[in-house]
Chain A
Amino acid sequence: MWPLLGLGILIIGFALRINPLLVVVAAAFGSGIGAGLTPVAVVAALGKAYNGSRYVTVPWLILPVIGMLERAGLRERARQIVGDMAAATTGRLLLVYMIFRQITSAVGLTAIAGHAQTVRPLLAPMAEAAAERADPAIGRAGRMRVRAMAAATDNIGMFFGEDIFLAVASILLIKGFLESQGIIVTPLQLSVWAIPTAIAALLIHGARLLRMDRRR
């Protein structure tokens, strides 16, 4: 049971709101040493895995372009677009984006949008502008909620769209795992079962988005 020490460290660390980087490294030492590894072996294992997953940090190469466009007024332009459309309420705007994100993800285009590319420069300023128009007295907390909802909508749209696509990593992982257990399934047999959940996600989150408009 000692390897579970790392989990305990993780949960306590996050609960106490200690800096996550420190918590994660402490958890790695906890589990590793609990499993009988030496501290040096834990450092080496961390280093090996860190080096092997460098691709995770590559997408930040988008920042120079986004920064330059922000410098030229991209966020201001996003706000003006909403200002010109009377029908664009916060909820409707986010709902349209969610549908766009689900459909593009379902045909494999997950890289087309994201927090750095679309949410920060476009979606969040648009949603915030719409919220300010509906309620000029909106406070800081209200604007924070709108921004958080914009990020949440991007996540939910992508997660519950992408599994409809046949060649997505999770479908391939499932297929590979079942195959290793002697069960043969085609990607299509798996991806069709993502559709009911995708519809449920659209209904639940979509209803929450539209309710944002009515609450004010």
Chain B
Amino acid sequence: MIGLPFVYAVAGSVFGAWAVLTLADRRQPRRWTSAAFWGLISLSFLAGDRIGDLGNGVLVLALVAIGGSGWLARAEPPTTSDADRAASAAVRGNRLLLPALIVPTVALAGTLAAPVLGFVDPKQVTLVCLAAGAIIAVGVTMWWLRPPPLAPLQEGRRLVSQIGWAILLPQLLASLGAVFALSGVGTIIGGSVGTLIPDGARFIAVAVFTLGMAGFTMVMGNAFAAFPVMMAAVGLPVLVQALGGNPAIVAAIGMLAGFCGTLLTPMAANFNIVPAALLELDDRSGVIKAQVATALPLLAINTLLIWGLAFR
């Protein structure tokens, strides 16, 4: 059965190769600490289940120490020049777009075929297909373009070093969410938000719910963490039970109010901080700033939608 162990072995090998190539690159600034960073991520994929909770915790602290203190540097492995690229683009034309479609195609085919593929763990089919698609796409591209043998790893290293410490942030924020849950942060916030609503004030109750969803999502970086708390604190007891709202509408649109919060927070690192690094923006908050003028009106509309639709 192909499942997470396969995916993690592939990811661990790729990050391990990036560590080795970093160490071997004499022009790489901060060579030792940068190699240690990618090596520790590799170790986490390959041996994370064997080193225990405390071992993993120490690993996280080491990664944060390197990434947070500027000991991780960008790599500039030898690559093609701008002129080479323009010439290659002119010769190869739109066919260059095709290999980029291999990964989504494999993901789609795999998801559709999952029930009949007996050898793939059905719960992990997306991640398995992603890893398999990446391997197939590298193979096809190597066969077509005939770059130097180390090109996929070196070009991958060039890109991953541009993302830098931000690559760690989504996983670290997920871990912070777990610590917050353990500490009871959600219950405290939910409890205090619930006390803000005057009896019987329907619109205020709806607004407290949607603003609470967006605000709590901004803090947690994730509407999925905010939803159970806000629903238990305000959605069910006030909007549904006391005021007679339709639970399906309150819940469905409430979740979307949370998504508006996702657009506004650095805590949603995958969507807001990582792309700023990938696109080499000067301002780390550039993506969030571009989203404000869409997110705020949409939050207002979600509030009006619950108010207007849920109580008929």
> A residues within 8 Å of B by Cβ?
1, 3-4, 6-7, 10, 14, 17, 19-22, 24-25, 27-28, 31-32, 34-35, 37, 40, 42-77, 80-81, 108-109, 111-113, 115-122, 124, 140, 144-145, 147-152, 154-156, 159-160, 163, 169-171, 173-174, 177-178, 181, 183, 185, 189-191, 193-194, 196-197, 200-201, 204-205, 208
CA distance A66 to B138 in the complex (A): 9
Pairwise interchain contact B68-A22, C-beta atoms closer than 8 A:
yes
- Pick from A63, A147, A181 the residue with the most CB of B within 10 Å: A63
Instruction: Give me 16 A-to-B residue pairs in the complex whose CB atoms sit less than 8 angstroms apart, sorted by A's number.
Output: A20-B169, A58-B130, A60-B160, A66-B159, A67-B151, A72-B89, A76-B88, A77-B93, A111-B103, A118-B100, A120-B279, A122-B97, A151-B275, A163-B252, A178-B247, A204-B294
Pairwise interchain contact A45-B248, C-beta atoms closer than 8 A:
no
B248 CB to nearest A CB, Å: 5
Instruction: Assess A159 versus B259: contact at CB under 8 Å? Given A45-B182, A193-B248.
Output: yes
A39 CB to nearest B CB, Å: 10
> B residues within 8 Å of A by Cβ?
4, 7-8, 10-11, 14, 41, 44-45, 48-49, 52-61, 63-64, 67-69, 79-80, 82, 84-90, 92-94, 96-97, 99-100, 102-104, 107-108, 111, 126-127, 130-131, 134, 137-138, 141-142, 145, 147, 151-156, 158-160, 163, 165, 167-180, 182-185, 188-189, 219, 223-224, 227-228, 231, 236, 240, 247-249, 251-253, 255-256, 259, 262-263, 266-267, 269-276, 278-279, 281-284, 286-287, 289-291, 293-294, 297-298, 301-302, 305, 309
Residues of A near B130 (CB, < 8 A) are 58-59, 61-62, 111
B287 CB to nearest A CB, Å: 5
B312 CB to nearest A CB, Å: 13
Pairwise interchain contact B54-A50, C-beta atoms closer than 8 A:
no
Instruction: Assess A181 versus B171: contact at CB under 8 Å? Given A67-B158, A159-B263.
Output: no
CA distance A44 to B170 in the complex (A): 18
Residues of B near A71 (CB, < 8 A) are 79-80, 85, 147, 151, 155
B192 CB to nearest A CB, Å: 9
Pairwise interchain contact B175-A28, C-beta atoms closer than 8 A:
yes
Pairwise interchain contact B248-A19, C-beta atoms closer than 8 A:
no
Pairwise interchain contact B305-A196, C-beta atoms closer than 8 A:
yes
CA distance A27 to B221 in the complex (A): 14
Residues of B near A149 (CB, < 8 A) are 290
CA distance A35 to B297 in the complex (A): 37
Pairwise interchain contact A44-B301, C-beta atoms closer than 8 A:
no
Pairwise interchain contact A34-B171, C-beta atoms closer than 8 A:
no
Residues of A near B176 (CB, < 8 A) are 6, 24, 27-28, 46
Residues of B near A7 (CB, < 8 A) are 185, 219
CA distance A208 to B283 in the complex (A): 21
- Pick from A64, A109, A120, A121 the residue with the most CB of B within 10 Å: A64
Pairwise interchain contact B171-A56, C-beta atoms closer than 8 A:
yes
CA distance A171 to B90 in the complex (A): 45
Residues of A near B56 (CB, < 8 A) are 46-48, 50-51
Which of B92, B173, B298 lies in contact with A200, CB distance below 8 A? Answer: B298
Instruction: Assess A73 versus B85: contact at CB under 8 Å? Given A65-B137, A111-B130.
Output: yes
Instruction: Assess A152 versus B290: contact at CB under 8 Å? Given A65-B134, A120-B279.
Output: yes
Residues of A near B223 (CB, < 8 A) are 170
CA distance A21 to B70 in the complex (A): 11
* A180 nearest in chain B by CB position: B228
Which of A19, A46, A177 lies in contact with B179, CB distance below 8 A? Answer: A46
A175 CB to nearest B CB, Å: 9
New contact pairs (8) apart from A7-B219, A53-B171, A57-B170, CB-CB < 8 Å? A51-B49, A65-B103, A113-B104, A115-B275, A120-B279, A160-B259, A183-B247, A196-B253
Pairwise interchain contact B57-A46, C-beta atoms closer than 8 A:
yes
- Pick from B102, B127, B152, B155 the residue with the most CB of A within 10 Å: B155
Pairwise interchain contact A25-B53, C-beta atoms closer than 8 A:
no
Pairwise interchain contact B85-A24, C-beta atoms closer than 8 A:
no
Instruction: Assess A159 versus B262: contact at CB under 8 Å? Given A47-B56, A170-B255.
Output: yes
* B128 nearest in chain A by CB position: A58
Pairwise interchain contact B58-A47, C-beta atoms closer than 8 A:
yes
* B158 nearest in chain A by CB position: A67
Instruction: Assess A10 versus B282: contact at CB under 8 Å? Given A48-B56, A117-B100, A177-B228.
Output: no
Which of A74, A116, A174, A200 lies in contact with B227, CB distance below 8 A? Answer: A174
* A7 nearest in chain B by CB position: B219
Instruction: Assess A31 versus B266: contact at CB under 8 Å? Given A22-B68, A68-B147.
Output: no
Instruction: Assess A119 versus B183: contact at CB under 8 Å? Given A45-B53, A63-B160, A152-B291.
Output: no
* A195 nearest in chain B by CB position: B252
